[in-house]
């Protein structure tokens, strides 16, 4: 595959996102035709489209953009093709922070504490990883660091489940952890969208720094890039974008890993050029996956996080095999 013009790529991704967004408003166990979009307010199909599927579609776009941009930024900063909020434990730490608010019951009284807990967990995860992102870090170091974060956060979540005061709390935490966009309302959109928007906006300011880092930290400093400021902005952008996404959908993995790898042959080798295309492509991937899980012929809807894991797991394995062949 060869690189294509930036304008053509944006046009393709925006068209795909628009088509899938329209399909998302119609698709489901009950297919809603376009005519129902302009029906009377008391028409039940109008309620399905604008009160159930519209918030779900908006969240799919926002979460996909957040995870795609976060994955591209982490891969560009660390020069590591395996960097991803899910694999490196950032999403797991965000989930642990959110689960603690659910376990302690704080999110019931103060709903705003759920995204705060998720973003705090994500910030701790990103900060830990960035401490290992100097010139001495390696692929193995990052994978091991991600495994440690995943192990610690998983142990914390398991402890919360084991000590949960009621079966209802256990069921709520388990369902939330599997990751889904089902039954999300305007309230979740209002809660997550501002944080995701700010986080993505911060990440979109980093192309110059990410491009300079291809020369190494010493080369980037010689070009006037402040590594301390870059590290801080990266941590803040990822924790806001990924943390807010996890807070409203649970853990949806592999989007940040898969998206940059799919686009890199089309965009070229500049990490900064991947940020915005990865955000748009992440939205396309999440929208498509969410439509597929809704149309699957099953009594209960398959969780989106489970579906993405089924897709991303084999992709991750192939990526590892390719990296091993290149290293041989």
At 198 the pLDDT is 95
pTM here is 0.88
| 305 within 8 A of 178, measured Cβ to Cβ | yes
At 280 the pLDDT is 96
> Does residue 287 belong to any structural domain of this protein?
yes
> Does residue 26 belong to any structural domain of this protein?
no
> Does residue 20 belong to any structural domain of this protein?
no
Q: Which two tokens stand for residue 148?
A: 């440690």
Residue 62's closest CA among 244, 323, 236, 229? 244
> Could you count the other beta carbons within 10 Å of the beta carbon of residue 128?
19
Each residue's pLDDT, cut to its tens digit, for the chain (328 residues) gives 455 788 899 999 999 999 999 999 988 778 887 776 776 666 777 778 888 899 999 999 999 999 999 999 988 888 877 778 877 788 888 889 888 888 887 777 777 788 888 888 888 888 877 776 554 555 566 667 777 888 888 898 888 888 887 777 788 788 878 889 988 888 889 989 999 999 999 999 999 999 998 888 788 889 899 888 888 888 889 888 988 898 889 888 889 888 998 898 888 878 999 999 999 999 999 999 999 999 888 777 888 988 888 888 788 788 778 777 776 6
> Does residue 167 belong to any structural domain of this protein?
yes
> Does residue 93 belong to any structural domain of this protein?
yes
CATH (domain of 87):
1.10.3470.10
Residue 51 carries which DSSP code?
Answer: I
Domain of 101 in residue numbering reads as 44-327
At 1 the pLDDT is 43
> Does residue 79 belong to any structural domain of this protein?
yes
> Does residue 2 belong to any structural domain of this protein?
no
> Does residue 54 belong to any structural domain of this protein?
yes
Number of domains composing the chain: 1
Q: Is the dihedral of CA 52, 58, 64, 70 positive or negative?
A: negative
């Amino acid at each position: 595959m060869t690189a294509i013009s930036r304008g053509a790529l944006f046009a393709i991704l925006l068209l795909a996102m628009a088509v899938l967004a329209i399909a998302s408003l119609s698709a489901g166990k009950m297919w809603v035709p376009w005519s129902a979009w302009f029906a009377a307010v008391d028409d039940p199909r109008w309620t399905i489209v604008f009160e159930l599927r519209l918030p779900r579609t908006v969240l799919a776009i926002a979460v996909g953009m957040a995870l795609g941009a976060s994955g591209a930024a982490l891969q560009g900063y660390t020069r590591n093709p395996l960097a991803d909020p899910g694999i490196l434990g950032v999403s797991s730490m965000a989930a642990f922070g959110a689960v603690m608010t659910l376990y302690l019951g704080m999110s019931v009284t103060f709903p705003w504490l759920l995204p705060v807990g998720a973003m705090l967990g994500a910030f701790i995860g990103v900060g830990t990883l960035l401490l290992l992102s100097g010139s001495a870090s390696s692929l193995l170091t990052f994978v091991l660091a991600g495994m440690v974060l995943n192990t610690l956060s998983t142990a914390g979540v398991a402890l919360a489940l084991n000590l949960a005061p009621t079966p209802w709390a256990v069921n709520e935490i388990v369902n939330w952890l599997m990751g889904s966009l089902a039954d999300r309302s305007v309230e979740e959109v209002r809660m997550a969208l501002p944080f995701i928007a700010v986080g993505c906006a911060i990440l979109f300011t980093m192309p110059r720094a990410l491009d300079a880092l291809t020369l190494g930290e010493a080369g980037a400093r010689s070009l006037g890039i402040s590594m301390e400021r870059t590290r801080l902005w990266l941590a803040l952008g990822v924790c806001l974008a990924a943390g807010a996404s996890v807070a409203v959908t649970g853990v949806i993995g592999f989007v940040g890993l898969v998206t940059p790898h799919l686009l890199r042959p089309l965009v070229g080798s500049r990490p900064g050029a991947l940020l915005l295309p990865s955000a748009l492509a992440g939205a396309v991937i999440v929208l498509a996956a969410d439509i597929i899980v809704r149309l699957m012929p099953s009594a209960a809807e398959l969780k989106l996080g489970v579906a993405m894991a089924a897709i991303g797991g084999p992709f991750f394995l192939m990526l590892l095999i390719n990296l091993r062949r290149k290293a041989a």
